[in-house]
Amino acid sequence: MDAREFGILSEEVRKLAKQAPRLGWGKVQNDKTDSKLDLFGIRSYTDLEKSIAQMADDDKNYWRRRWFVWQCSRCDEYLFYRIRGVERNPNRKDKSWDIRINGTIEFDIKGTRIPTKMRKDAERLINDPKDLIHFYYEKQSTGVRYDIQNRLFIVHHSFVGAEREVYLRTAWKSKPKIYEEYVANINRIRLYEYNGVQTSVIFIFEREKGKVDYHICGL
């Protein structure tokens, strides 16, 4: 991805985020529904809508959510590897890492949110994310996407309303500075360990509507 592609794609997902509350997003991620469409062969939201036109509404919203989350992750990756000292994985099919920082630490980037049953503990998790990290690894999909590797979790959470996490995923004006601060301090950030891999967490949240805040865990 280059700056031009980022500009187009980031605007597309911002538009889709505005539709999210009324879409409901459909069912949870699963292999059965995933087998119905080659999502990674679709490069625009227009193409996605054409591909899912004949599907049931639940399936349509499932794929809208999957496409939205995937494209937000691609944008997040771009915002990292545009930073000096960060390189992207040249092998798109390699699931082991997305970015390498300073030629040493590699991370698979996962854009996510606080799960429903843990939202009441959001303040505690922002200050100490260990329980959240365990949840992400232990409760991840057991389907074809199951894997364990170094991960950088970018957790989006709104204290205003849970449904607003989609807007925080598309906070493209705020995210570049947050990621630049993360990379600049990588040698000072305490990483967490899980089952032999290293993990890091960045929280992007709002306490007031439209006011983006963040916390880099371990810094």
Q: What is the pLDDT of residues 111-154, one digit of tens each?
A: 999 998 999 999 999 999 999 999 998 876 444 344 678 999 99
Q: How far apart are CA 105 and CA 132, in angstroms?
A: 21
Q: How far apart are CA 3 and CA 87, in angstroms?
A: 15
Is residue 78 within 8 Å of residue 86, measured between CB atoms?
A: no
pLDDT of residue 34: 64
Q: What is the mean pLDDT of the chain?
A: 88
What is the average per-residue pLDDT within 46-55? 89
pLDDT of residue 20: 65
Is residue 115 within 8 Å of residue 165, measured between CB atoms?
A: no
Q: How far apart are CA 156 and CA 202, in angstroms?
A: 9
pLDDT of residue 208: 96
Q: Is beta strand 105-113 parallel, antiparallel or unpaired with respect to 99-101?
A: antiparallel
Tell me, yes or no, if the pTM score tops 0.85. Answer: yes
Helix orientation angle between 3-23 and 57-81, rounded to the nearest 10 degrees: 150
What is the average per-residue pLDDT within 30-52? 78
The values of phi and psi at residue 193, to 5°, are -110, 140
Is residue 204 within 8 Å of residue 178, measured between CB atoms?
A: yes
Is 31 strand, coil or helix?
Answer: helix
Please name the helix (run of DSSP H) or strand (run of DSSP E) that holds residue 87, with its range, or none.
Answer: strand 86-88
pLDDT of residue 29: 58
